[in-house]
Structure 1
Amino acid sequence: MNVSAPVSDLAIECEGLSKRFVVRHRAGRLRRRRVEVAAVDDVSFTVRAGEMVGYLGPNGAGKSTTIKMLTGILTPSGGRVATLGLTPIERRTELARRIGVVFGQRTQLWWDLPLADSFELLHHVYRTERARHEANLATFVDVLDMGPFLATPVRQLSLGQRMRGELTAALLHDPALVVLDEPTIGLDVVSKQAVRDFLLALNRERGTTVLLTTHDLDDVERLCGRMMIIDHGRVIHDGAVDAFKATYGTERTVVVDLVEPGPALEVAGARVTRVDGPRQWLSFDRREVTAAQVVAAIVARTSIQDLSIEEPAIEELVRRVYTAFPAPSDG
């Protein structure tokens, strides 16, 4: 019986989602102690259709475990999850036809076959209409500039070329949701930008929902309007990227090049954090003083050649969140 998929404006729903694994530790020469470890612990969030959301966290935080439950690879230990209105573990085959998944360190392409042959095989795997498959393939080949290496065996492709092939393989069947696990890992600057531009266009023109897990925070800044941070199996932040930077990025820095090297400047509301010849770095809290006030005070005290304002790196902001939310104790 053909059951139509539920219609919802939510692409992902997680409520109290958890996953526990049993590990055994040595407790003597012959004995082992059974310990239960929570990889994901009471995680709740939703992703609306058409959103691009970053899902961040250090190694072992629970990102990949969450993805495997969302896609039906793992059965949750507790809670509820629905992906595109379907319970993943119960309707895994149906869900597989409606989602695309890319793992940066794993391949879904046939290693010894030319890239074009992998795409042809995927046409049969997903049983897409021939016209639809050909149209999508032509679009992706053009946008991702894959024409020169379509006849090349996958094993001979560079990492950047293979990742473009992986993205195409995940999208040929027009999935409503794409889950990307470290899609730019190991890519050079040019390849990263090509992948980012492609994903932005995909979301803008086709309305495809994107859930992105990554260690590259630049990906999140350039692609996502919203970010979640998971640590020790729990979501410790969920909100707009801009709001996150406003909350944790209150410190800004004025970098000033003086006409002549001199002692550290004394400016109300700012402190010199570094001096390198005529260049000085002055940090300030934007909740207490504005950049314009700091700059005016500097200009009133000395002659300058150049000046710029630096925002805090998002890596540092995430580090501050981790510090604010210490790991739960085992006791």
Structure 2
Amino acid sequence: MIELDGVGRSFTVGRRRTRKTVHAVQDLSFTVRAGEFVGYLGPNGAGKSTTIKMITGILAPTSGRLRVAGLDPTRRRTSLARRIGVVFGQRTTLWWDLPLRDSFELVRHLYKVDQIDFRRRLSELTELLDLADFLATPVRQLSLGQRMRGDLTAALLHDPAVLVLDEPTIGLDVVSKAAMRDFLRRLNAERGTTVLLTTHDLGDIEKLCRRVMLIDHGSLAFDGTLDDLRATAPEEDSIEDVVARLYTGWSPALPAEG
């Protein structure tokens, strides 16, 4: 579902004489198969967000080959949008002053979802994510947990094959976080949706992901199972200890990327 082969992304920063090239991602290669639930970890500035933006077609790679659902994300961005769903934990895709239900209706038009399919899908997601009590509430009045459930619903209304999640549980209370994790687990298990998850919350990784990739300084530092990752450190270490060891100076308690 997701294929990166030698992908790189560089930026030129500074002015005239002080210009320099920053390699945000370098020679990055990995494959995510259909139905996988993969965690994508790394410290701030490691290249996670740049990778996500290339996968979703927001940024074009400066080198290498990238395919998502068989499509070039940059050249086929509109076609790809119908195959993927994206949730950014720190940014909403909903309309701030509209009731949640009206935001969903606009999403239906954007993705050209058939009315019958839309009603069926919304009914299913409303039940699974417990949205009924605030469908008529303006988005700006929703709690963070309610808004995140709304954003997740909006990302799934067109029934995407791939779901990309960037910090989907950031700031959520314990109850909301547990509900979100349970839903994502069921979505992957029952519908076979391919999920790529970036997060600083290692609890998300332990409860949801069978495979973990770690990126640092734009390059892949680890790709394997959680058990493989734990095997890189003493048995008494927690998963937080293991990851922290791999990234000098990085603590999982740091805030998410801005």
* TM-score (normalised: structure 1): 0.74
Match in the other structure for 1:317: 242
Amino acid at match of 2:28: V
Q: How does 1:247-266 map to 2 (within 5 A)?
A: 247-248=232-233, 250-252=234-236
CA distance in 2, matches of 1:313, 1:159: 29
Superposition RMSD in Å: 1.0
Aligned-pair CA distance for 1:247: 2.5
2:43 aligned partner, one-letter code: P
Name the CA distance, whole Å, in 1 between partners of 2:119 and 2:182: 22
TM-score (norm 2): 0.94
Partner Cα separation in structure 1 for residue 208 and residue 238 of structure 2: 16
Tell me, which stretches of 5 or more residues in structure 2 are unaligned?
249-258
Letter in 2 for 1:93: T
Q: How many angstroms apart in 2 are the aligned matches of 1:207 and 1:44? A: 23
Letter in 2 for 1:16: G
Find out whether 1:177 has 2:162 as its counterpart: yes
**Richer in helix (by share):** 2
Q: 1:154 aligns with which of 139, 156, 163?
A: 139
Shift of 1:131: 1.5
Offset from partner CA, 1:158-192 (integer Å, 9 cap, x none): 00000000000000100000000000001001010
Aligned-pair identity (%): 66
Q: CA deviation at 1:314?
A: 1.3
* Among candidates 176, 190, 205, match of residue 205 of structure 1: 190
Q: 4+ residue runs of structure 1 moved beyond 6 angstroms?
A: none
2:256 alignment counterpart: none
User: What does residue 69 of structure 1 align with?
Assistant: 54
Residue of structure 1 equivalent to 2:255: none
For 1:188 and 1:32, locate their aligned partners in 2 and report how far apart those are by CA, in whole Å: 48
- Say whether residues 1:36 and 2:21 are aligned partners: yes
SS in 2 for 1:317: helix
User: Which has more strand, going by share of residues?
Assistant: 1
**For 1:92, which of 65, 74, 77 is the aligned residue?**
77
- Give the 5 Å matches for 1:277-292: none
Deviation at 1:32, TM superposition (A): 3.6
How big is the shift at 1:319? 1.2
Could you tell me which of 220, 223, 246 is aligned with 1:238? 223
CA offset at residue 251 of structure 1?
A: 3.2
SS, match of residue 242 in structure 2: helix
Query: Paired residue for 1:19?
Result: 9
Give 1:75 deviation, angstroms: 0.8
- 5+ residue gaps in structure 1? 1-10, 26-30, 253-311, 324-331
Higher relative contact order structure (alpha carbons within 8 Å, sequence separation ≥ 6): 2
> Is contact 2:232-2:242 (8 Å) kept?
no
Equivalents in 1 of 2:232, 2:14: separation in Å? 41
Contact kept in structure 1, 2:43 and 2:247, CA below 8 Å? no
Task: Supply the distance in 2 between the matched residues of 1:251 and 1:136 (Cα, whole angstroms).
Answer: 45
